[in-house]
Chains A and B, each alone.
Chain A
Amino acid sequence: MNPAFALEILPQLLTGAVLTLQLVALALLLGLVLALPVALARLSPFAPVSALASGYIFVFRATPLLVQIFLIYYGLGQFEAVRESFLWPILREPFWCAILALMLNSAAYTAEIIRGGIRSVPYGQIEAARALGMSGPLLYRRVVLPLAWRQALPAYGNEMIQMVQASSLASTITLMELTGVARAIAARTFQPVEAFVIAGAIYLLLNFVLTRAVHWAERRVTHAAH
């Protein structure tokens, strides 16, 4: 381990970390937005809707994320319709392919987390809202989802951390995020130890901050819950 070399490659690795953060933040945000309707569909009493959501969740949880990334990156361009659609300028970019794969994958896991949270809401608190004349979207917005979110937060914290690690797979489709930069440095300089020790330390730092943030959010909400 050469400290001078480690310091020399630090700026490049930090640039990679910025891309990692962009991938993670965007994928988590879009994944969460998609996960809510998927979770609600999964809980729907209407069988075809529930089955559709179950199928989606099953497919994305039962195949490797790496395979999903490759299929989206290499696979979408196979279709004439995709190449000619207005989305092609976006879908041919590795960045957006990675976002799409990470987001679809995260949404599948997050939907299950949200579903578990919703099912754990004490029924009496829902009934209290019904008895006061609440129903439908109002009931969900004001009572069910806030309570479900409190239950789901620890599990969602896990999902966020997993997403930081999973984003390293984006390096396989040419994206120079943290792992991609470390691999390039290792290949160029034949000094893999420094590159991956520093990259690992940056991941550690990112997840440390994330863990503290989730912990803080949990504490903020649970003084109310118990």
Chain B
Amino acid sequence: MAKTIVVTSGKGGVGKTTSTAAIGAGLAKRGHKTVVIDFDVGLRNLDLIMGCERRVVFDLINVIQGDAKLNQALVKDRRLDTLSVLPTSQTRDKDALTLEGVEKVLGELKEEFDYIICDSPAGIERGAHLAMYFADEAVVVTNPEVSSVRDSDRVLGLLNSKTRRAEKGEGDPVKAHLLLTRYDTDRVSRGEMMPIDDVLEILAIPLLGIIPESPTVLRASNVGMPVVMDETSNAGKAYEDAVSRLIGEQLEMRIQPEERPSFLRRFLGRRA
């Protein structure tokens, strides 16, 4: 039975697309047939983070409007044959998304894939609403920072009221997980950043993972590679742990240290 998971946050810039790419690739690495879908109509970026931007021909909107078949719009990942990307339109606006259209596309994807990961746009408008509407589970991406935590709380309210599971009252409510990103243990120990426990106490949902602030995230996006494909990256390892928990493995929570270049490397690096 295919599972639909929305990656959402309310606030922009907290790491939704990075997390979608990493979780999607992590699931695919484990052999699960996975598709990642970009719901940010007009601001397409998931293709870029996934490194398939030059192979996009058709998109989600073309499929919804009947201009292309779903299989024509799906872009297969070249590194993982279990992974596909469904890009969105760069030129249309979010009104091109319809509830019926999204439902139809997700229905077709469910026949082919084990996991459908929906990358929500920021905000709580139409695109974000439709990205979460059909979800079975939600990954709420949050930075340990006041505006991000507040927006996550708002999004949790919407997951409990404005989704199909909430409206139809069938089955369990959408299962929400907290993914804490850009976590910096040094700043936490200096009292400059809220610790994990405080964010958990406030949002009161189970913790899926803690992603450390890491230069490898930018490096991965620079080259269009989901960060879990970088075996040396601590952020990648943290995402791998999160993926394990997402598929139900019991795993002790550990905080990967941030990667800071050593003094010597910084010294040498600057001269290089």
Specify whether A and B are partners: no
Q: Measuring CB to CB, which residues of chain B are less than 8 angstroms from any residue of chain A?
A: none
